[in-house]
Amino acid sequence: MSAATDVYDLRGLQCPLPVLRTRKRLEGMQAGAWLWVETTDPLAVIDIPAFCAEAGHRLMSSEAAQGGGHRFLIERGG
């Protein structure tokens, strides 16, 4: 198993920027690497899981973040 060592703060950005920036960040990571994504965009709870399914990444966790927003733990696919 991998360890989640990277947190990507996308709070304050609106659709489609959280997905676009998450895609770009994951492209620079190795397969199996984990990334926490934090966002305040209400559409992210739909967009991030859909993006992961389409792109072959694994959504490990999806949870409400302290202070508002949402956190996602994504494992980069191969």
Catalytic residues: 15
3-state secondary structure of 12: coil
Residue owning tokens 């709070």: 11
Amino acid symbol at 12: G
CB 52 within 8 Å of CB 58: yes
